Amino acid sequence: MQLDGISAIVTGGASGLGEATATMLAGAGADVVLADLDDERGNTTAKRLDARFVRTDVTDPAQVSAAIEVATESGAPLRLAVNCAGIAIAVRTLGRDGSPHDLGLFERVVRVNLIGTFNVMRLTAAAMARTEPLEDGERGLVVNTASVAAFEGQIGQVAYAASKGGVVGMMVPAARDLASVGVRVCTIAPGTFETPMMGVLPDEAKAALAANIPFPKRLGRPEEYAALVRHLAENTMINGEVVRLDGALRMPPK
Protein backbone atom coordinates (compact mmCIF):
# COMPACT_ATOMS: atom_id res chain seq x y z
CA MET A 1 0.00 0.00 0.00
CA GLN A 2 1.35 3.37 -1.01
CA LEU A 3 0.80 6.28 1.38
CA ASP A 4 0.35 9.00 -1.22
CA GLY A 5 -3.34 9.80 -1.64
CA ILE A 6 -4.71 7.85 1.31
CA SER A 7 -6.35 9.12 4.48
CA ALA A 8 -4.82 8.12 7.83
CA ILE A 9 -5.73 8.50 11.50
CA VAL A 10 -3.04 8.70 14.17
CA THR A 11 -4.16 8.55 17.78
CA GLY A 12 -1.85 10.30 20.21
CA GLY A 13 -0.72 12.23 17.14
CA ALA A 14 0.03 15.48 18.96
CA SER A 15 3.33 14.34 20.45
CA GLY A 16 5.96 11.62 20.68
CA LEU A 17 5.62 8.53 18.50
CA GLY A 18 2.30 9.74 17.13
CA GLU A 19 3.62 13.13 16.09
CA ALA A 20 6.61 11.56 14.35
CA THR A 21 4.29 9.17 12.53
CA ALA A 22 1.93 11.94 11.48
CA THR A 23 4.89 13.96 10.20
CA MET A 24 6.13 11.01 8.15
CA LEU A 25 2.68 10.32 6.72
CA ALA A 26 2.03 13.93 5.76
CA GLY A 27 5.42 14.08 4.07
CA ALA A 28 4.56 10.95 2.10
CA GLY A 29 1.38 12.52 0.74
CA ALA A 30 -1.24 11.12 3.13
CA ASP A 31 -4.18 13.15 4.37
CA VAL A 32 -3.65 12.94 8.15
CA VAL A 33 -6.07 13.30 11.04
CA LEU A 34 -4.54 13.72 14.50
CA ALA A 35 -6.77 12.22 17.19
CA ASP A 36 -5.60 13.42 20.59
CA LEU A 37 -6.77 15.05 23.82
CA ASP A 38 -4.15 17.81 23.78
CA ASP A 39 -5.90 20.71 22.05
CA GLU A 40 -2.92 23.06 22.05
CA ARG A 41 -0.33 20.63 20.72
CA GLY A 42 -2.87 18.98 18.44
CA ASN A 43 -3.81 22.21 16.71
CA THR A 44 -0.19 23.37 16.49
CA THR A 45 0.98 20.08 15.00
CA ALA A 46 -1.95 19.92 12.59
CA LYS A 47 -1.19 23.43 11.34
CA ARG A 48 2.48 22.57 10.85
CA LEU A 49 1.64 19.46 8.85
CA ASP A 50 -1.35 20.86 6.96
CA ALA A 51 -3.30 18.09 8.68
CA ARG A 52 -6.49 18.11 10.74
CA PHE A 53 -6.90 17.77 14.49
CA VAL A 54 -9.91 16.19 16.18
CA ARG A 55 -10.06 16.15 19.96
CA THR A 56 -10.57 12.47 20.68
CA ASP A 57 -10.88 10.24 23.71
CA VAL A 58 -10.01 6.85 22.23
CA THR A 59 -12.32 5.07 24.69
CA ASP A 60 -15.35 7.05 23.45
CA PRO A 61 -17.01 5.46 20.39
CA ALA A 62 -18.76 8.69 19.38
CA GLN A 63 -15.53 10.73 19.46
CA VAL A 64 -13.60 8.10 17.49
CA SER A 65 -16.42 7.94 14.95
CA ALA A 66 -16.26 11.73 14.61
CA ALA A 67 -12.53 11.55 13.87
CA ILE A 68 -13.18 8.88 11.24
CA GLU A 69 -15.83 11.07 9.64
CA VAL A 70 -13.34 13.93 9.39
CA ALA A 71 -10.77 11.55 7.90
CA THR A 72 -13.15 10.57 5.10
CA GLU A 73 -14.40 14.08 4.32
CA SER A 74 -11.56 14.79 1.90
CA GLY A 75 -12.61 11.93 -0.33
CA ALA A 76 -9.31 10.10 0.19
CA PRO A 77 -9.98 6.51 1.30
CA LEU A 78 -9.20 5.74 4.92
CA ARG A 79 -6.56 3.02 4.69
CA LEU A 80 -4.34 3.45 7.74
CA ALA A 81 -4.91 3.80 11.48
CA VAL A 82 -1.98 4.05 13.89
CA ASN A 83 -2.73 3.69 17.59
CA CYS A 84 -0.18 5.65 19.61
CA ALA A 85 -2.43 7.00 22.37
CA GLY A 86 -1.62 5.57 25.78
CA ILE A 87 -0.79 6.24 29.41
CA ALA A 88 1.75 4.77 31.82
CA ILE A 89 1.97 4.60 35.60
CA ALA A 90 4.46 3.14 38.08
CA VAL A 91 2.61 1.36 40.90
CA ARG A 92 3.46 -1.97 42.52
CA THR A 93 0.94 -4.75 43.12
CA LEU A 94 1.63 -4.16 46.79
CA GLY A 95 3.11 -0.88 47.93
CA ARG A 96 6.06 -0.69 50.30
CA ASP A 97 3.55 -0.11 53.08
CA GLY A 98 1.62 -3.24 52.09
CA SER A 99 -1.28 -1.37 50.48
CA PRO A 100 -2.73 -3.07 47.37
CA HIS A 101 -2.65 -1.50 43.94
CA ASP A 102 -5.60 0.85 43.43
CA LEU A 103 -8.11 -1.06 41.30
CA GLY A 104 -9.53 2.05 39.66
CA LEU A 105 -6.07 3.09 38.50
CA PHE A 106 -5.43 -0.37 37.04
CA GLU A 107 -8.78 -0.23 35.23
CA ARG A 108 -7.99 3.23 33.81
CA VAL A 109 -4.68 2.10 32.30
CA VAL A 110 -6.31 -0.97 30.74
CA ARG A 111 -9.23 1.12 29.51
CA VAL A 112 -7.07 3.65 27.69
CA ASN A 113 -4.29 1.38 26.42
CA LEU A 114 -6.21 -1.78 25.59
CA ILE A 115 -9.89 -0.95 25.27
CA GLY A 116 -9.09 2.36 23.57
CA THR A 117 -6.85 0.59 21.07
CA PHE A 118 -9.55 -1.99 20.34
CA ASN A 119 -12.20 0.72 20.00
CA VAL A 120 -10.17 2.56 17.37
CA MET A 121 -9.27 -0.66 15.59
CA ARG A 122 -12.85 -1.92 15.30
CA LEU A 123 -14.25 1.40 14.08
CA THR A 124 -11.48 2.22 11.60
CA ALA A 125 -11.56 -1.35 10.25
CA ALA A 126 -15.29 -0.96 9.60
CA ALA A 127 -14.59 2.22 7.62
CA MET A 128 -11.74 0.57 5.69
CA ALA A 129 -13.97 -2.38 4.80
CA ARG A 130 -16.21 0.01 2.85
CA THR A 131 -13.39 1.21 0.57
CA GLU A 132 -12.49 -0.19 -2.83
CA PRO A 133 -9.79 -2.88 -2.61
CA LEU A 134 -6.25 -2.35 -3.84
CA GLU A 135 -3.94 -4.94 -5.35
CA ASP A 136 -4.20 -8.30 -3.52
CA GLY A 137 -7.58 -7.18 -2.20
CA GLU A 138 -6.00 -4.98 0.46
CA ARG A 139 -8.19 -2.28 1.93
CA GLY A 140 -6.17 -1.03 4.88
CA LEU A 141 -3.88 -1.51 7.85
CA VAL A 142 -4.18 -0.97 11.59
CA VAL A 143 -0.90 -0.54 13.47
CA ASN A 144 -1.21 -0.89 17.23
CA THR A 145 1.44 0.10 19.75
CA ALA A 146 2.39 -2.34 22.50
CA SER A 147 5.68 -2.22 24.43
CA VAL A 148 8.50 -4.52 25.44
CA ALA A 149 6.75 -4.35 28.82
CA ALA A 150 4.20 -6.74 27.30
CA PHE A 151 6.92 -9.40 27.52
CA GLU A 152 9.22 -8.20 30.32
CA GLY A 153 7.23 -5.86 32.51
CA GLN A 154 9.31 -4.27 35.22
CA ILE A 155 8.58 -3.73 38.89
CA GLY A 156 5.73 -1.24 39.14
CA GLN A 157 4.48 -1.94 35.60
CA VAL A 158 1.77 -4.49 36.34
CA ALA A 159 -1.06 -2.35 34.94
CA TYR A 160 0.94 -1.08 31.97
CA ALA A 161 2.28 -4.55 31.13
CA ALA A 162 -1.19 -6.07 31.36
CA SER A 163 -2.63 -3.47 29.00
CA LYS A 164 0.19 -3.86 26.46
CA GLY A 165 0.11 -7.66 26.76
CA GLY A 166 -3.55 -7.43 25.80
CA VAL A 167 -2.67 -5.40 22.72
CA VAL A 168 -0.25 -8.14 21.65
CA GLY A 169 -2.75 -10.89 22.47
CA MET A 170 -5.59 -9.53 20.35
CA MET A 171 -3.43 -8.96 17.26
CA VAL A 172 -3.53 -12.41 15.64
CA PRO A 173 -7.26 -13.01 16.14
CA ALA A 174 -7.98 -9.48 14.90
CA ALA A 175 -5.83 -10.06 11.81
CA ARG A 176 -7.69 -13.31 11.18
CA ASP A 177 -11.07 -11.65 11.74
CA LEU A 178 -10.29 -8.87 9.27
CA ALA A 179 -8.57 -10.96 6.61
CA SER A 180 -11.86 -11.47 4.79
CA VAL A 181 -12.17 -7.72 4.16
CA GLY A 182 -8.49 -7.16 3.32
CA VAL A 183 -7.51 -5.24 6.46
CA ARG A 184 -4.17 -6.10 8.05
CA VAL A 185 -3.27 -5.75 11.73
CA CYS A 186 0.29 -5.32 12.98
CA THR A 187 1.79 -4.33 16.30
CA ILE A 188 4.97 -2.46 17.17
CA ALA A 189 6.53 -3.09 20.58
CA PRO A 190 8.94 -0.20 21.25
CA GLY A 191 11.66 -0.34 23.85
CA THR A 192 12.80 2.84 25.59
CA PHE A 193 12.21 5.83 23.33
CA GLU A 194 12.91 9.54 23.60
CA THR A 195 9.30 10.70 24.06
CA PRO A 196 7.54 13.22 26.32
CA MET A 197 6.90 10.33 28.71
CA MET A 198 10.67 10.05 29.11
CA GLY A 199 11.19 13.81 29.09
CA VAL A 200 10.52 14.10 32.81
CA LEU A 201 13.54 11.95 33.63
CA PRO A 202 16.92 13.51 34.42
CA ASP A 203 19.80 12.91 32.01
CA GLU A 204 21.43 10.43 34.40
CA ALA A 205 18.30 8.28 34.42
CA LYS A 206 18.10 8.33 30.62
CA ALA A 207 21.77 7.34 30.41
CA ALA A 208 21.10 4.42 32.74
CA LEU A 209 18.24 3.25 30.55
CA ALA A 210 20.36 3.53 27.41
CA ALA A 211 23.14 1.51 29.05
CA ASN A 212 20.86 -1.56 29.10
CA ILE A 213 20.34 -1.49 25.32
CA PRO A 214 22.81 -3.77 23.49
CA PHE A 215 22.89 -1.76 20.24
CA PRO A 216 22.50 1.00 19.40
CA LYS A 217 23.31 2.10 22.94
CA ARG A 218 20.87 5.01 23.07
CA LEU A 219 17.17 5.67 23.44
CA GLY A 220 15.06 5.10 20.37
CA ARG A 221 14.00 8.04 18.22
CA PRO A 222 10.34 8.60 17.34
CA GLU A 223 11.35 8.90 13.69
CA GLU A 224 12.52 5.27 13.82
CA TYR A 225 9.07 4.20 14.96
CA ALA A 226 7.54 6.20 12.11
CA ALA A 227 9.90 4.57 9.61
CA LEU A 228 8.69 1.14 10.73
CA VAL A 229 5.06 2.21 10.33
CA ARG A 230 5.87 3.19 6.74
CA HIS A 231 7.50 -0.15 6.03
CA LEU A 232 4.54 -2.05 7.50
CA ALA A 233 2.19 -0.05 5.29
CA GLU A 234 4.21 -0.65 2.14
CA ASN A 235 4.91 -4.36 2.75
CA THR A 236 1.57 -6.09 2.32
CA MET A 237 2.89 -9.49 3.36
CA ILE A 238 3.44 -8.39 6.96
CA ASN A 239 0.25 -9.21 8.81
CA GLY A 240 -0.56 -10.48 12.30
CA GLU A 241 2.98 -9.74 13.42
CA VAL A 242 4.47 -7.95 16.42
CA VAL A 243 7.78 -6.23 15.73
CA ARG A 244 10.04 -5.36 18.64
CA LEU A 245 11.76 -2.03 18.07
CA ASP A 246 14.20 -2.10 20.96
CA GLY A 247 17.85 -2.53 19.96
CA ALA A 248 17.79 -6.11 21.34
CA LEU A 249 16.78 -4.84 24.78
CA ARG A 250 15.40 -7.31 27.31
CA MET A 251 14.15 -5.37 30.28
CA PRO A 252 15.66 -6.13 33.71
CA PRO A 253 13.32 -6.39 36.74
CA LYS A 254 13.89 -2.71 37.58
Active centre residues (catalytic) = 160
SS3 of 85-143: CCCCCCECCECCCCCECCHHHHHHHHHHHHHHHHHHHHHHHHHHHCCCCCHHHCCEEEE
Backbone angles phi, psi at 166, to 5 degrees: -65, -35
Nearest Cα neighbor of 120 from 61, 75, 42 is: 61
Q: How many CA atoms lie within 13 A of 100 on its CB side?
A: 3
Contact 244, 213 (CB under 8 A): no
Do the Cβ atoms of 160 and 149 come closer than 8 Å?
yes
